[in-house]
């Protein structure tokens, strides 16, 4: 088991989170500054980051954006921990690449459960198959955790990769948001259905030729989403 990095500038909250994580058997470190956190993440590659939004040095949204923009760190799961509770703030956090969002005040037990759930779903493979999947201009290699588009690398977060792999392996079938949360995020998830829309929008921006007119990951009005079958 690696380390959970808690990026929080309020000492009481940071100590509370660290205590409950370690009580649950999850080693944790605390950093109170965004720039220091970024340097530590680049050096040590924690298993997961619990990230406050309001930080000195570098705010949480910018830190998350930088993590998702670097190949070495884009696969590290991020749970945002913040006092901002409006839906628009949650959506912005998810669009920046957060895997989950916990508003303050929070239950330490719930936070620990969310951390464990994110670690499980980002570590476990969707299927035992290790064969690459090729659909049109896309090639997904699960053993190397690589995706190419027309031969060029596509950099995905861990959850984006997991979602794309699920769609490519289940082409032609329609899945509701709730089903996708169960199958991809896991039945022990704590995320809301809107999270699916955010991740699919980000995924389309990376894998579609024209994200405004998707031809691979399609919306089925009133039902959910599907990956276009090559026979269609």
Q: Which of 164, 155, 102, 173 is nearest to 133 (CA)?
A: 164
Q: Give the architecture (CATH level 2) of 133-227.
A: Orthogonal Bundle (1.10)
- Res 124: pLDDT: 55
Taken in order 8, 82, 196, 118, is the CA torsion positive or negative?
A: positive
- Res 87: pLDDT: 59
Answer whether 4-123 and 133-227 agree in fold: no
38: Cβ–Cβ under 8 A, 6 or more apart, which residues? 58, 63, 66, 67
- Res 187: pLDDT: 55
- Res 203: pLDDT: 93
| Token pair in block for residue 218 | 């399609």
183 SS3 class = helix
Pick the CATH number of 4-123 from 2.40.50.70, 3.40.50.720, 3.40.50.2300, 3.40.50.300: 3.40.50.2300
| Sequence spans of domains, the chain | 4-123, 133-227
Per-residue model confidence as pLDDT tens for the chain (232 residues): 468 999 999 999 999 999 999 999 899 999 999 999 999 998 888 989 999 988 988 988 899 989 988 878 888 889 988 776 555 566 666 777 788 888 888 888 889 988 888 887 766 555 555 788 888 889 999 888 899 999 899 988 888 898 999 999 888 888 888 888 877 887 555 667 778 888 999 999 999 999 999 999 999 988 899 998 865 5
| Token pair in block for residue 171 | 């082409």
- Res 31: pLDDT: 95
- Res 208: pLDDT: 92
């Amino acid at each position: 088991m690696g380390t959970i990095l808690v990026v929080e500038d309020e000492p009481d909250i940071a100590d509370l989170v660290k205590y409950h994580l370690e009580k649950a058997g999850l080693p944790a470190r605390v950093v109170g500054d965004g720039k220091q956190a970024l340097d530590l993440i680049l050096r040590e590659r924690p298993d997961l980051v619990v990230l406050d939004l309001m930080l000195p040095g570098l705010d949480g949204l910018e830190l998350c954006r930088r993590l998702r923009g670097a190949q070495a760190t884009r696969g590290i799961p991020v749970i945002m921990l913040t006092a901002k509770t409006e839906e628009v703030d949650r959506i912005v956090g998810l669009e920046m690449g957060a895997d989950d969002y916990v508003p303050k005040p929070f239950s330490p037990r719930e936070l620990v459960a969310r951390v464990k759930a994110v670690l499980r779903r980002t570590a476990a493979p969707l299927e035992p198959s290790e064969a690459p999947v090729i659909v049109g201009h896309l090639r997904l290699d699960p053993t190397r955790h690589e995706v190419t588009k027309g031969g060029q690398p596509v950099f995905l977060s861990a959850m984006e990769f997991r979602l794309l792999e699920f769609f490519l392996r289940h082409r032609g079938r329609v899945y509701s948001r709730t089903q996708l949360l169960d199958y991809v995020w896991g039945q022990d998830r704590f995320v809301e259905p809107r999270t699916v829309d955010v991740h699919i929008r980000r995924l389309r921006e990376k894998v579609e030729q024209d994200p405004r007119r998707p031809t691979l990951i399609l919306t089925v009005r009133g039902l959910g989403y599907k990956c276009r079958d090559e026979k269609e």
